[in-house]
Structure 1
Amino acid sequence: MRKTLRISAVALAVSAGWALPTQASAADAASVQEELVAMRAQMQAMAQRIDSLEAELATAQAQAETANKVAQAATETAVAAKASADKAPPVKVTWKGAPQIEGEGGWKFKLGGRVNIDAGVDNAPNSTGRDDGFGSEVRRARLRAEGSMPGGVGYKIEADFAGSTTILTDAYLSFSHKDLTFKIGQFNTFQGFEELSSSLHTSFMERAALTDAFNFERRIGASVEYEKGDVLLQGGVFTDNYTATPNKNWSVDTRAVYMPKIGDTQLHFGGSFHYADYENGSTIRYRQRPFEHFTSERFIDTRAFSAKSERGIGLETAMISGRFHAAAETYWQKVARTGMPDPTFFGGYVEAGYFLTKGDSRGYKNGVYDRVKPVKGFDKGGIGAIEINARYDHLDLTDAGIVGGTQNAYQFSLNWSQTAYTKIMLDYSRLQYKDAIYPTASGDTSYAVDVVAMRAQIDF
C-alpha cells in the first residue's frame, strides 16, 4: 500500500512538471514556483500521514493477534474447567427437616435441632403445702451438627439451650466398619428401650418414671455396637456425665436386642445390664417428679444415702403391627452399701397405642422407636396422623429400711403429628402415691396428684 501511494505522488508531480511551461507562459514564474513549493509540502505531509497510517495499522494488527491469543487461551481454560467439573465428585442436597449435604465417598453433613414447649396444670392435695397449679417451660431447645467422612468416620455434637445454662448433650466421634460401630465421647448408655428412643418419638411427653428415677443419663465413655439382621448387641465402659467430672466413678453398660419382623409385624425383645462403681464416700439418691418436668416437686424420694455401687437389670419388649403398637419394660436397681442392707428398687410400665388415621403407624429403627411419618400430612393436603395411647407406670422406691414411696401412674395421651417434623401432644396422668414424703394435714401419705399437660414440638 505504501508503494502504491508513493507512485501516485510521483505521477502527480510529473504531471505538474509537464504542465509548467504552458502555465508559465500565462502566469508569473514566481507564482508558479510558489505553487510548486506548496505542492511539494503537501506531498511531504501526505507521505508522513502514510507513515502514520502504516504504524497504526501495524499496531492494530498486533492488538488483533494478541486478542486472538487471549480468546484462544480463555476458550482452552473454559474447556479445561468444564472437563474438571465433569470429573468432580457430585454433591447431593436432600431435605430431611433441614438441608442434608452428601458428597461422594462418604461425606455427609447436616445441621439440626428441636424445640419442645410445654404447659400444663398439676393438682396436689392442698394440705400438703406443695407448689402446684399452672406451669410452663421450654423443655428442650437443641441445636446439633452431625455428619460423616470417608473411612467410616462419623461425628455428632449437640447442645441444649432450654435452661438458664447451656448443657452439652451429645458430643462424640464414631467409626463404622461392616457390622461394627465404635464410639467415643459423651452419649447415652444402653439402659433400655424407652431411654434410647428419642424424646421426639415417645408415646408420652415424658418417659416412664424409672428412666429419671434411676438416673439414666448420657455419660463420657467408649462403646462398641454390633448390628446384623435381627440382632443388635451394645456395650461400653463409662465414667460420668461431663457435668459431674472429674471423679473416680465408672460403669459398664450392655444391651442385647432381637428384633424380628414377621409379615408386617415388627417385634422387639431385649435386655440390659448396668453396673456402676462409686468412689469412697459417695451417696446416691432416687426420686421422681409427678410426670411433668415443669414442676420441681417430688412426692417420692429416697433422699441421699451411702452407696458403693449399683447394679441394674432391665427387660424390654415391644411390637408394631399396622396402626397398633405396644411396649413394656421392667427394671431392678440394686445398691450395695457398707454395713447396711442392700436395697433393691423396681420400676416398670406397659403401654399400648392406636392410630385413628388410616395407614399411619409407629416408626422403628435400630432397636428403638423412630419417626411417625403421616401418610396424609399437612404437606400432602391431609390432616396428619392422630394417635391415642394408654400407659400404666409403676415405681417403687421402698426397700431395706429406705422408704422413698411408691407411685402408680395411669396415663393417657393424644398425639397429633401434622407432618413428620411437627407434633402437638396432650397428656393426662393420675399419680397414686403410697408413703409419699409430704403428708397431708391429717398425716396421710397415700393420695393422688392429677396432671394435664400439652406440648408443641418441632424438629429439623
Structure 2
Amino acid sequence: MTTTRLSLSAAALAMAIGWTVPVSAQDASVAQELAAMRAQMAAMSSRIDTLETQLAAARAQAQEATVAANAATASAASATAAAAAPPAAQVAWKGAPEWSSESGWSFKPRGRMQFDAGTVSSPRGINDASLGFGSELRRAYIGFDGKIPGGFGYRAEIDVAGSSVEVTDLFLTYQASKEVGLTVGQHKPFWGLEEMTSDLFPSFTERAAMNTAFGFERRLGASAAYSKGDVLLQGGVFTDNVADLNNDENNSMSVDGRAVFAPKLGAGQLHLGASAHYHDLNDSAASVRYRVRPFIHTSDVRFIDTGNIGAVSELGYGLEAAYIRGPFHGAAEGHWQQVNRPGALVDPTFFGGYVEAGMFLTPGDTRGYKGGAFDRVKPNSPLGKGGFGALQVNLRYDYLDLIDAGIVGGRQNGYELGLVWTPTDYTRFLLNYGHMVYSDAALPAAGGDRDYSVDALGMRAQLDF
C-alpha cells in the first residue's frame, strides 16, 4: 500500500514536472516576441518623430521660400512701376514755383503788375483832357516759360492791361552749343542797352525818349546769339509785330544786329555796345511817325511829333556804354534814325540820346547786369529779413531831336530825377520827377508859342514773379 502510494506520488510528480517544463518554455518565447515588438514599436515611434521633425523643417523652408518669392515679386513689381513712372519733379522757388525733372523738362509761371499814377502840367493855351492827374494799370503780364529735353526752351506771355489782349513774348529757343543760341518767334530785335533791359528794371518808370519815339518794339523773326567770355553778338531777321500780321499792308522786313563787349574793369563791370538796323517797309504807301509822351504814360499828349512821313525804309545806328561799380552806375546811349523817303525827297536823320547816373544809398547794394543788359536788383538786406531793402537815386538827361530836312517835329531836353525803392527781389516802388523843355514843339501854346516846358511827376508800384 505504501509502495503503491509512493509510486502514484512519483508518477504525479513526474507528470507535474512534464507539464511545467513546456509551459515555462512557452512563456519565455512569448516574452521574447513581446520584447521584439516593443523594440520595433519604439523604433517606429523614433522614426515617426524624425519624419515629423523633417516635415516641419521642410514646411518652414517652404514658407521661407514663399515669403522670399513674394518679396522678390513685390520688389520686381515696384522696380517695374518705378521704371514705368516718370521721375519725381523738383520744385524751386524763383518768385513763383518752377517745376523741373531729371529728363530735362521744366515749367514756370511768370507775370508782372505795374500800377502807375502821375500828373503833367499843362502849358498855357493847351487844353487836353489827358493832362493833369491820371492813373492806369501800366502792364499786367501773365505767361509761362520753361525747357524741353534736347536743348529747347519756350516762352509765352501776354499783356492784359489794355482793353484788348496783346502778345508780348512768344518764342521757341534752341541752345545749339554752349556759345550759340537760336530763337524763333516774337521777341526784341536787339535794340540798345535800355531797350534790351526788361521793363522791370529800368532806372525810371519810362525809358528814355528815343526808345519810344523810334518805334523800338518786339517783332516776329528768327535770330541767333553768340556769347563767349566778354563778347556778345546778336543778329536776326524780322517781320512785323504779331498784332499786325493779319493786316496785308504790314509785310515789312528788317535785319538787326548788335555787338557787346563787357569786360571786368578793376572792381567794376564795363559795357560797350553798338547796334545797326535796316528796316524795309515793303509798301509804296508806307509811312513812319516819331513822337513821344512827356516822361509819363498816363497822358496821351505828345508835345513833339513828326506826323506821318512817307518812307521806303529806315536805317538806324546805336552806340551804348555803361559802367557798374559797387553802389554806382552810369550809362549813356545815342541813336541815329535815318528815313529813306520816296523820289527825290531829302532823307532826314533824327537823333536821340541820354546820359544817366545812379547811386544806391543802402550799403551792399548794386545794380544787376546779365547778358548785355541791366538785370534784377537783389537787396543786400531785404525788407522782412531785418533790413529795409535797396534805395537808389538816379539822375538823367534825356535828349530827342526830331527836326531835319524840312520836318519840324520839335526838340526835347529832359532833366529827370528818380527814386527807386526795392524792398525785396520781386517788388519795386518808383517816384520820378521830370522837367521837360521843348523847342519848336509840334503843339503850339497860347499865342502860337512853341518853346515852353512842362513838369511831370510819376509813381509806380510793381510786383513780378
TM-score (norm: length of structure 1): 0.82
CA 1:422 to 1:71, structure 2 compared with 1: closer, same or farther past 3 Å? farther
Counterparts of 1:106 and 1:231, CA distance in 2:
28
Question: CA offset at residue 71 of structure 1?
Answer: 12
Does residue 116 of the first structure (1) align with residue 114 of the second (2)?
A: yes
Matching residue of 1:47: none
Counterparts of 2:336 and 2:74, CA distance in 1:
71
Deviates further, 87-96 or 382-391: 87-96
Does residue 449 of the first structure (1) align with residue 446 of the second (2)?
A: no
Deviations 1:10-60 (A, max 9, x none): xxxxxxxxxxxxxxxxxxxxxxxxxxxxxxxxxxxxxxxxxxxxxxxxxxx
Deviates further, 225-234 or 105-114: 105-114
Deviates further, 171-180 or 110-119: 171-180
In structure 2, runs of 5+ residues without a counterpart are 1-61
TM-score (norm: length of structure 2): 0.82
The SS at the match of 1:211 is helix
Question: CA offset at residue 177 of structure 1?
Answer: 1.8
State which structure, 1 or 2, has the greater radius of gyration over its C-alpha atoms.
2
- CA RMSD in angstroms comes to 2.1
Does residue 307 of the first structure (1) align with residue 306 of the second (2)?
A: no
Matching residue of 1:256: 259
Matching residue of 1:3: none
The SS at the match of 1:126 is coil
Counterparts of 2:316 and 2:330, CA distance in 1:
23
Counterparts of 2:186 and 2:346, CA distance in 1:
33
Equivalenced residues, count: 395
Does residue 396 of the first structure (1) align with residue 409 of the second (2)?
A: no
Matching residue of 1:327: 331
Question: CA offset at residue 124 of structure 1?
Answer: 1.7
Matching residue of 1:427: 432
Question: CA offset at residue 107 of structure 1?
Answer: 1.9
Counterparts of 2:348 and 2:134, CA distance in 1:
35
The SS at the match of 2:125 is helix
Q: Which AA in structure 2 matches 1:208? A: A
Counterparts of 2:230 and 2:296, CA distance in 1:
35
Question: CA offset at residue 88 of structure 1?
Answer: 6.2
CA 1:293 to 1:70, structure 2 compared with 1: closer, same or farther past 3 Å? farther
Matching residue of 1:206: 206
Matching residue of 1:228: 228
Matching residue of 1:373: 378
Deviations 1:299-354 (A, max 9, x none): 00000010011100000001110000011000000001122110000000000000
Matching residue of 1:415: 420
The SS at the match of 2:210 is helix
Deviates further, 325-334 or 374-383: 374-383
Matching residue of 1:161: 160
Matching residue of 1:287: 291
The SS at the match of 1:378 is coil
Matching residue of 1:337: 341
Matching residue of 2:191: 191
Q: Which AA in structure 1 matches 2:338? A: K
* Regions of 4+ moved over 6 Å: 68-72
Question: CA offset at residue 106 of structure 1?
Answer: 2.6
Matching residue of 1:274: 277
The SS at the match of 1:207 is coil
Matching residue of 1:176: 175
Counterparts of 1:253 and 1:215, CA distance in 2:
14
Question: CA offset at residue 242 of structure 1?
Answer: 1.2
Counterparts of 1:249 and 1:423, CA distance in 2:
37
Counterparts of 1:84 and 1:257, CA distance in 2:
51
Of 61, 78, 82, 1:81 maps to 78
Deviates further, 119-128 or 445-454: 119-128
Question: CA offset at residue 379 of structure 1?
Answer: 3.7
Q: Which AA in structure 1 matches 2:182? A: F
Matching residue of 1:318: 322
Counterparts of 1:140 and 1:299, CA distance in 2:
24
Question: CA offset at residue 125 of structure 1?
Answer: 1.3
Identity between Structure 1 and Structure 2 (%) = 52
The SS at the match of 2:448 is coil
Matching residue of 1:36: none
Q: Which AA in structure 2 matches 1:129? A: N
The SS at the match of 1:380 is coil
Question: CA offset at residue 84 of structure 1?
Answer: 5.5
Question: CA offset at residue 440 of structure 1?
Answer: 1.6
In structure 1, runs of 5+ residues without a counterpart are 1-64
